[in-house]
Amino acid sequence: MNRKNTASDLKSCPVCGGLIIRENRDISLNYNGKEITIDQPGRYCSDCGESFLSSSDLAETGKKRIDFQKEFDHLLKSDEIREIRKKMKLSQRKAGNIFGGGPMAFSKYERGIIKQTRSMDVLMRLINKNKISLEDILEVE
């Protein structure tokens, strides 16, 4: 993978001058008092342990990070959103147009780039439990 971020060009640690190595490390994430450990690829100083994470390093664990927050917030996970959308037989673009958020919204929810709003979450849950149908929603538009 081509990494253009300056963090990936580091040969020696700007903190201690130590050797920078690329590897995966277990790092812990905290969110409102909850903690998980994730396997985070990145560049790390072999001496002081300082981490240098590029945007592509962070993108690789983005879904795990967001899903961890969603679990705490009691929001549907990225894959659950995808399942419900597929159950409705809608493309991501069409789902974004019908439910709001724009054509890229569902792509972002499902890849774990952003969290859906509480109201979007409620809507998806209602549809998933067959409390309301897609036709009901199209009717009010």
HSE-CB for 70 with a 13 A CA cutoff: 23
What is the three-class DSSP state of 37? strand
SS (H, E, C) 114-138: CCCCHHHHHHHHHHHCCCCCHHHHH
How big is the site for Zn ion, counted in residues (CB under 5 A)?
8
Residue closer to Zn ion (CB basis): 16 or 59: 16
Stretch that binds Zn ion, among 23-31, 37-45, 84-92, 99-107 (CB under 5 A): 37-45
Give min distance, CB of 40 to Zn ion, in A: 17
Give DSSP secondary structure letters for 81-115: HHHHHHHTT--HHHHHHHHSS-TTHHHHHHHTSSP
DSSP state of 19: B
Sheet harboring 34-45: ordered strands across?
Answer: 20-31, 34-45, 51-52
Residue 59 neighbours by CB distance under 10 Å = 13
Give min distance, CB of 8 to Zn ion, in A: 16
Stretch that binds Zn ion, among 50-58, 59-67, 106-114, 130-138 (CB under 5 A): 50-58
Instruction: Determine which residue in the list 19, 21, 48, 104 makes contact with Zn ion, applying CB under 5 A.
Output: 48
15 binds Zn ion (CB under 5 A): yes
132 binds Zn ion (CB under 5 A): no
18 binds Zn ion (CB under 5 A): yes
Give min distance, CB of 18 to Zn ion, in A: 4
20 binds Zn ion (CB under 5 A): no
Note the residues at the interface with Zn ion (CB under 5 A).
13, 15-16, 18, 45, 47-48, 50
